[in-house]
Amino acid sequence: MSTLRTHPNIKTDYCPGCGSKFQTVDNQKPGYLVVPSTTPKKPTIKTNSNELNSEDVEKIIRLMPDDIRKKLYPEGEITHTSSSELMEGRKSGRMTDEKQKDERIFCHRCYNLLYYNRVTSDTWQESLTTDKSILSFLKKKDDAIIVTVVDIFDFPGSLLEDLDILIGTDKQNILVANKMDLLPNDVNETRIKRWLYEKCKKFGFTNISDIFLISAKKNWKVQELAQTMSTVRSGFDDIYLIGKTNVGKSELINSFLRCMVVDGWRHKVTSSPIPGTTMGMLGLPLTLFKETFGVNPKGFHFPQTCRHLFDTPGIINKNQLINLLTEEELKITIPQKYIKPLTFALTPGKTIFLEGLGRIDYIEGQKPIRTTVFSRLKPHITSITRADEICQSMTVGDQTFLQPPIFSSKRKEFPAMIKGIKKYAMKGIPGTMSIKDVVFSGVGWVSFGGMFDKAVIDIWSPNGIGIYIRDKPLLPFEFRGKYESPKLY
Ligand SMILES: Nc1nc2c(ncn2[C@@H]2O[C@H](COP(=O)(O)OP(=O)(O)OP(=O)(O)O)[C@@H](O)[C@H]2O)c(=O)[nH]1
Ligand SMILES: [Mg+2]
């Protein structure tokens, strides 16, 4: 593989975006590299006579009055640009942009994700790991602190189970609940932290040094998190970000880079909605972050040489419904911004669909139940009989109004909707608090509340996977979102 390093910008054998080992054999496999040419490109011939070449531009800049030139191009900032780039520069107030300056060479998949926001193939999914024991080396590693990242929008589906057994209880382990920007901004953080702690205990994760509610995308609470990491870290520790796929580990690395490193984008790693974006360990030297992670509470500066902040490959959650989706479907399913709760009354004999990814039938009960949907997918309500017919047509591969899934001739079989939980009984309570959440992993959840004696529901999903019942709802009081009638068919 060392032959790949013939190009001056290929510094290692691994892609700096996703950590895959570079290879030039199979363009459907991780790390595929189109080996760039080392021969310098010939200058492009001007086709547009109005376009200035770099020499023309430099000449114009040289001829400018001194004071104007200094104002426009402070020392060291003059770059070779064409006239159209100059226009761009003027618009954005910068002479160059990140993509021009980032000279690192990425694998084919990262290149397309970073610059075109698209995936090049879907067969790489076969190389993803479901085996969380790849992290078990951490159990023997004394010089490490762990940051366990979960997705608050997909909890408990996004939590690594039995963490205490997997990596031991002798290390500092900070729990980070990411994507808080998707929740209403007036949520009670103390209650959510307590809620998270209780849930984690239930899933075999008790060794929690601290809990942070952050948004890596918006850089919320990222500086505070870094401060705590530096406090709990001894000078000789590496830092590992671990978690299931798609929780935002890589985006958190990028957020640290954005907040704490000048020109941090030069070290940016690949983050995308495709589960399994990071495929190998990616270590950024802590020296990059200057003192951020290197100062202990007493203020001593420890040597940081060879200590790293590691992004790790996410452990794929076989239960996550988003693993079944194509890139196009992911783009319409994964929430990007604040999810507005949608509240309505569900009457006995009715079904609520979250497109073709979730279905709840109200099979037995007397009264309507207060139902609130937290999902990017809009709910559809129909009778249970009609819902059965719709599912029947989906099973034979017919396109229905429920999308995703989007059926096409190219699509491999999509799993049929089956009952994952049958005849689940709930009892209502007086007051405004919700009583249960039904979670469809990665897609969203439905909260139930109100005063009723008994309501019995069946819960369906593709192959019956990814369904969790939360005895204590995450947002028990946030049902008041704008009342809208769900679509009726
Ligand atoms: N709304 C929101 N989206 C986020 C946030 N952080 C990450 N994301 C999105 O979540 C998706 C997954 O992010 P990644 O950083 O690739 O997740 P990861 O944990 O590194 O995933 P793998 O590499 O697959 O293990 C991307 O679409 C991100 O834009 C956040 O704070 N808020
Ligand atoms: Mg990643």
CATH number of the domain at 183, please.
3.40.50.300
Cα distances (angstroms) measured from residue 423 to each of 351, 360, 383, 455, 460: 14, 11, 17, 9, 11
**Residue 442 near ligand 1, beta carbon < 6 Å:** no
The count of residues in the chain is 489
Give residue 247 CA to ligand 1 midpoint distance, Å: 5
Q: Ligand 1 atom closest to Cα of 279?
A: 23
Q: Are residues 216 and 340 in the same domain?
A: no
Helix boundaries (H) for 14-153: 54-63, 66-72, 83-92, 98-101, 108-116, 137-140
Interatomic CA distance for residues 247 and 314, integer angstroms: 8
The pLDDT tens digits along the chain (489 residues) read 444 555 556 667 889 989 988 888 888 888 888 766 655 555 544 445 455 555 565 666 566 666 665 655 554 444 333 333 333 333 333 333 444 567 788 888 888 888 887 776 655 566 666 677 889 899 999 999 999 999 999 999 999 988 999 999 999 999 999 999 999 888 899 999 999 999 999 999 999 999 999 999 999 999 999 999 999 988 789 999 999 999 999 999 999 999 999 888 889 999 998 888 998 999 999 888 887 886 444 445 555 457 899 999 999 888 888 888 988 899 899 998 899 899 999 999 999 999 999 999 999 999 999 999 999 998 999 999 999 999 999 988 888 899 999 988 877 789 999 999 999 999 999 888 899 999 999 999 999 999 999 999 999 999 999 999 999 999 998 766 554 555 544
Domain final residue, candidates 268, 287, 317? 317
Interatomic CA distance for residues 462 and 400, integer angstroms: 15
Ion ligand 2, residue ranges at CB < 5 A: 249-250, 277-278
List the end-to-end C-alpha distance of the chain, in Å, as a whole number: 58
Give the bridge partners for 360, in sequence order.
352, 459
**Residue 275 near ligand 1, beta carbon < 6 Å:** yes
Q: Are residues 246 and 334 in the same domain?
A: no
Give residue 271 CA to ligand 1 midpoint distance, Å: 6
Cα distances (angstroms) measured from residue 169 to each of 162, 206, 275, 315: 11, 8, 28, 20
In a domain, 22, yes or no: no
Q: Check residue 427 and give its pLDDT.
A: 95
Q: Check residue 454 and give its pLDDT.
A: 95
Q: Are residues 296 and 344 in the same domain?
A: no
Number of domains in the chain: 3
Give residue 178 CA to ligand 1 midpoint distance, Å: 9
Domain final residue, candidates 294, 317, 340? 317
Classify residue 409 as exposed, middle or buried by CB count within 10 Å of its CB (0-12, 13-18, 19+). exposed
Q: Are residues 140 and 220 in the same domain?
A: yes
Q: Check residue 5 and give its pLDDT.
A: 52
In a domain, 448, yes or no: yes
Q: Check residue 214 and give its pLDDT.
A: 98
Give the bridge partners for 351, in sequence order.
361, 382
Cα distances (angstroms) measured from residue 178 to each of 150, 158, 212, 215, 250: 6, 11, 8, 5, 11
Token code pair at residue 180 = 């808080």
Question: In sequence order, what E strands does 325-399 have?
Answer: 342-346, 350-354, 358-365, 369-375, 379-383
Q: Are residues 163 and 306 in the same domain?
A: yes
Half-sphere exposure at residue 268, Cβ-oriented, CA atoms within 13 angstroms: 24
Angle between helix axes 83-92 and 54-63 (nearest 10 degrees) is: 60
Q: Are residues 211 and 92 in the same domain?
A: no
Give residue 209 CA to ligand 2 midpoint distance, Å: 23
Q: Are residues 232 and 281 in the same domain?
A: yes
Give residue 178 CA to ligand 2 midpoint distance, Å: 13
Token code pair at residue 320 = 């996550």
For atom 2 of ligand 1, the residue with the nearest CA is 179
For atom 13 of ligand 1, the residue with the nearest CA is 248
Q: Are residues 342 and 215 in the same domain?
A: no
In a domain, 391, yes or no: yes
In a domain, 27, yes or no: no
422, containing H or E segment: strand 417-426
Q: Are residues 296 and 402 in the same domain?
A: no
Give residue 191 CA to ligand 1 midpoint distance, Å: 24
**Residue 272 near ligand 1, beta carbon < 6 Å:** yes
Q: Check residue 28 and give its pLDDT.
A: 80
In a domain, 158, yes or no: yes
Q: Check residue 480 and give its pLDDT.
A: 63
Q: Are residues 436 and 374 in the same domain?
A: yes
In a domain, 176, yes or no: yes
Q: Are residues 333 and 270 in the same domain?
A: no
Q: Ligand 1 atom closest to Cα of 178?
A: 31
**Residue 213 near ligand 1, beta carbon < 6 Å:** no
Q: Are residues 466 and 359 in the same domain?
A: yes
**Which domain does 182 fall in, by range?**
128-317
Interatomic CA distance for residues 54 and 324, integer angstroms: 49
Closest ligand to the CA of 276: 1
In a domain, 8, yes or no: no
Q: Check residue 383 and give its pLDDT.
A: 97
In a domain, 7, yes or no: no
Domain final residue, candidates 317, 350, 368? 317
Task: Measure CA 301 to chain center.
Answer: 33
